[in-house]
A and B are shown apart, each in its own frame.
Chain A
Amino acid sequence: MKTAVKISNLVKEYNGVLAVDHLDLSVPEGSIYGFLGPNGAGKTTTLKMIIGMTDPTDGEIEIMGKKVEFGNNDYRDVIGFLPDVPGFYDWMTAREFLLFSGGLYDIPKEEVKSRTDELLKLVNLNKSRNKKIGKFSRGMKQRLGIAQALINNPKIILLDEPVSALDPIGRKEVMDVIGSLAGKVTVFFSTHILEDVERICDRVIIINEGKKILEDSLENIKKIPDVRSLEIELENEKDIQYLLAIEPHSIVYNIKQDKNKIVISSHDINQVRTIVNKIVYENDIMFKKMFIQSVSLEEIFIKAVNGNG
Chain B
Amino acid sequence: MVMVKTELIKKEINEYIKTPKGIILLAVFVFFALSSPLMGRYMNEIIATVAPDIVFDFPEPSLVDGWGQVFKNFSSICIIVFLILMTGTVSQEKSKGSILLVLTKKVSRFEFILSKFLVGSLAFTILFIGSSFISAWYINSLFGSYIYDGLFMSLLLFWLMGIFFTALAVFVSVIGKTPTTSALMGFAGYGILQILNISIDLSLFNPSGAPAIVNEIMKGTIQMSEMWKPIVVSILAVGFFFSAAQYFFKRQEI
Contacts and interface: CB of A to CB of B under 8 A. Distances in A.
A88 B97 CA distance: 8
Interface in A106-153: 106, 145, 148, 152
Contact of B97 (A52, A73, A85, A148): A85
A119 to B, nearest CB: 14
B219 interface: no
A87 B101 contact: yes
Given A87-B96, A91-B15, A104 B253 contact: no
B229 interface: no
Contact of B104 (A53, A55, A85, A89): A53
Contact of A54 (B18, B97, B253): B253
A104 B15 contact: no
Contact of A53 (B7, B15, B103): B103
Interface in B173-224: none
B108 A87 contact: no
B38 interface: no
A103 B253 CA distance: 25
Given A54-B253, A55-B253, A100-B7, A89 B98 contact: yes
Contacts of B108: 73
A152 B93 contact: no
B11 A100 contact: yes
Given A87-B93, A91-B15, A104 B105 contact: yes
Contacts of A76: 104-107
Contact of B250 (A71, A80, A145): A71
Contacts of A38: none
A87 B99 contact: yes
Interface in B76-108: 93, 96-108
Contacts of B11: 89, 100
Nearest to A148: B101
B8 interface: yes
Interface of B: 5-8, 10-11, 14-15, 18-19, 93, 96-109, 250-251, 253-254
Interface of A: 48, 51-55, 71, 73, 76-77, 79-81, 83, 85-89, 91-92, 100-101, 103-106, 145, 148, 152
29 contacts: A48-B253, A53-B100, A53-B103, A53-B104, A53-B253, A53-B254, A71-B109, A71-B250, A73-B108, A79-B104, A81-B100, A81-B104, A83-B100, A83-B101, A86-B97, A86-B101, A87-B99, A87-B100, A88-B98, A89-B11, A89-B15, A91-B19, A92-B14, A100-B7, A100-B11, A103-B10, A104-B5, A104-B106, A105-B106
* Closest A-B pairs by Cβ, 10 of them: A87-B97, A103-B7, A87-B98, A87-B96, A104-B105, A81-B104, A53-B254, A91-B18, A105-B106, A54-B253
